[in-house]
Structure 1
Amino acid sequence: MKGQHVTITSEWTPREGERYVLGEGPRFVDGQPLIVDILSGRLIDSDSGRTLIQIDEPLGAVAPLTGRNGWIAAAGTGIALIDPDGVEWLAKPEVSADTPMRMNDGVADPMGRFWAGSMAYDNRPGAGSLYRVGVDRTVDRVLNDLTVPNGPAFSNDGSVMYLADSARGVIFRFDVDTTLGDLGPAVEWVRVEGGSPDGMCVDENDHLWSAVWGGSRIDRYAPDGTRTASVPVPVTQPTAVLITPDKRILVTSASFGFDQPQVDDGAVFVAETTVAAAPAARYGPSN
C-alpha cells in the first residue's frame, strides 16, 4: 500500500492468544499498546495479553491520567476514574435513558479533556450522544442524535475533531475552540462506502486513519478529506486502528455477531509502517 509516501512494510501478523469479542480502543501508553474488550469490561496489554483492569461494566475506552496512576474511562452508562483505590463515577448520564445504553469509544484531546460517545444496545437511531469531560471533572453532553459514535480523534494541535457515526456511514469534522472545548458546526467530511467507519486515529502528518467495519480494510484520509490509502486487513470486522510512535500499526477486530467466527476474528493484527503518531493524550490539567 502506498499513498502520500506512507507504506505498510510487513505482512499483517495476528497476535497469539485470545480472540476478543469486541476488541477496540487501542491506545499507546507508557511504551505499550493497550486495547479494551468492551463487553467483558477489560483493559488489556496487547503485547503480553495481560489484563490490567477488569470491571463489572462494559468498558468502551480509556485514557491515562495526568500526574497519577490510573485511567478515565467511558464505561457502563457513564464516565469513571479508575485507579488502584477503585472506581469513582463522575457521572452516569445514560443510566435512566428510555432504552438500555452503554458508553462506546472515547479519547483525551491534546488539552487534557476527555470525550466519549454513547449508544443504545439495540443501535436505536439517534439515541446516542457525545460527552465532554472537562479537566475540572464536569461532564457535559455536547452532541445528541447520534447512533453509533466512534472516535473521536483529534488533529495534533487539537483544533479539529473527527467523529464517526458508524451506523450512518459518515465521518464528521468539527472545528474546536482549544481554550473552551466548544465545537463548531458539524461538517459531513467523508461518507464511507463498502462498510462502516469505526475506530480512528491521527498520524504525525495529521492524516486520519479509520477502520472500516464490514469492509475488511482501513482507510487513510488527508486533512481535506481525500482518501489517500486503503489497506486490506484479513478480517471482516476491523474495529479500530492505532499508529504507534515506533511506526507500528495495530488493528483490533471483533468476533461479535458471527455464528461461526473464523480463526482470526477478534484478533489484534500488527504490521510495520513508515509513519508514526504521538502516544495517547492524558486526561487532566497539565499543571
Structure 2
Amino acid sequence: MNIAKPIFDIKPEHGEGPIWDPIEKKFYCVDLLRGSYYKVDWETGVSEEFSVGQELGVMALCENGKIVVGVRDGFGFFDEPLKKLELIENSPEIEVKERRMNDGAIDPKGRFFAGTMEYDGANPTGKLYCLHQDMSWNCLEENIYITNGMGWSPDKKTYYMIDTFRNLMYAYDYDIETGNISNRRLHIQWEKDEYPDGMCVDADGGFWVAMWLGSKVSHFDANGIWVKDIEVPVLHTTSCCFAGDDLKTLVITTSNLNLSKEEKEINPLAGRCFAFETEIAGQIEPRFKA
C-alpha cells in the first residue's frame, strides 16, 4: 500500500518548504503564513521553532551556516543564533505589498531561485528571481499565477517549475554558468481541478509532486509520465523532499489552511509531516554560496 505515515510531533498551520540537512541530520520546514520554521533532529524528533518575522515562503541552507530566505519583502538571510532577519539591499518587490515569495530552491551552482505570487493567486503577476552570490539578483520569468515546486535534472541541463493555477509544470533549458533559463515548454499538464504544489526531483530525474486538495503525492518519471500516487491522509499536501542517510525517505509537508471546523475534524492530522519509504534515492540539495 502506497500510504504515507505521520512523522515528528510538529504541526504547522501551513507547512511548506521541507529541507534535509545530511551533515547535521536535521529536517527543516516552514510555517509559511506564520513566518516561522521548524528544525527537527532526525534521530530524536526534538524540534525547535524560529520566528523570522514575516511570511516565509522558502528557506535554504548556506555554506556559511546562515539561512537564506524568500519572505514577504524579497530575499534575506536569517541568523539563527541571533534570531535576526536581514534583507539584502534593494530586495526585489520590497514595496509590493500584494505579493510575497512562495517557493524556491538552490541551483547546482549555489544560486537561490525563488518566485512570487499574489496572496490569493488571482492574477498572473508572479515573477521568478535568481539571487547570485554577490547579492545581485535578476528576474528570469514573469506572468506566473503561483510560482511553485522547482528543481533541476540530474545532468543539470534542465530546470523545472510548477505554476499551480495553470495546472502545469514547465521545463527550461538551463545554463549552469550564468543561471539563465530559456526555451520554455510544457512538461506535465494536469486537469483544471488538479493543483500541483511543491515537488522534488529524484536521482533518476523523476518528479514527486504534492497535490493541493489532492490528498497525495504523485510520482512521475523523468519524461513526465505518471508512475504512482502516494496517499496522504489529509486534504492538502504541500511539498516534499528526500531525507535520511540513503535519501530514500520521502518527507511530505501538509496544511490545515482554509479548512472549516468540520473539515478539520475530518482531517485531524492536517499540518503534520508524513514519511514514505521509496525505492529511488533523491539528490543532495546544494547550499547557497554566500
TM-score, normalised by the number of residues in structure 1: 0.90
Residues 123-165 of structure 1: CA distance to partner in whole angstroms, max 9, x if unpaired?
Answer: 1311111110112211111111111111221122322111110
Give percent identity, aligned residues only: 27
Amino acid at match of 2:252: V
| Residue matched to 2:32 | 38
Q: Are the counterparts in 2 of residues 201 and 241 from structure 1 also a CA contact under 8 Å?
A: yes
Matched, 1:75 2:86: no
* Secondary structure class of the residue paired with 2:183: coil
2-structure distance, mates of 1:151, 1:276? 18
2-structure distance, mates of 1:16, 1:64? 21
| Residue matched to 1:247 | 248
Amino acid at match of 1:225: G
Corresponding residue to 2:6 among 6, 10, 14 = 14
Amino acid at match of 1:81: F
| Residue matched to 1:161 | 159
Matched, 1:276 2:281: yes
Q: Which runs of 5 or more structure 2 residues have no equivalent in the other structure?
A: none
* Secondary structure class of the residue paired with 1:126: coil
Q: Are the counterparts in 1 of residues 4 and 230 from structure 2 also a CA contact under 8 Å?
A: no
* Secondary structure class of the residue paired with 2:177: coil
1-structure distance, mates of 2:216, 2:35? 26
Amino acid at match of 1:112: G
Count, aligned residues: 275
1:16: Cα distance to partner? 4.8
Across the aligned residues of Structure 1 and Structure 2, the Cα RMSD in angstroms comes to: 1.8
1:49: Cα distance to partner? 5.5
CA distance 1:49–1:195, change in 2 (3 Å): farther
Q: Are the counterparts in 2 of residues 109 and 154 from structure 1 also a CA contact under 8 Å?
A: yes
| Residue matched to 1:149 | 147
Amino acid at match of 2:39: D
2-structure distance, mates of 1:208, 1:64? 22
Q: Are the counterparts in 1 of residues 110 and 287 from structure 2 also a CA contact under 8 Å?
A: yes
User: What are the residue-to-residue correspondences of 1:21-32 with 2, within 5 Å?
Assistant: 21-29=13-21, 30=23, 31-32=25-26
TM-score, normalised by the number of residues in structure 2: 0.89
| Residue matched to 1:4 | none
| Residue matched to 2:201 | 202
* Secondary structure class of the residue paired with 2:33: helix
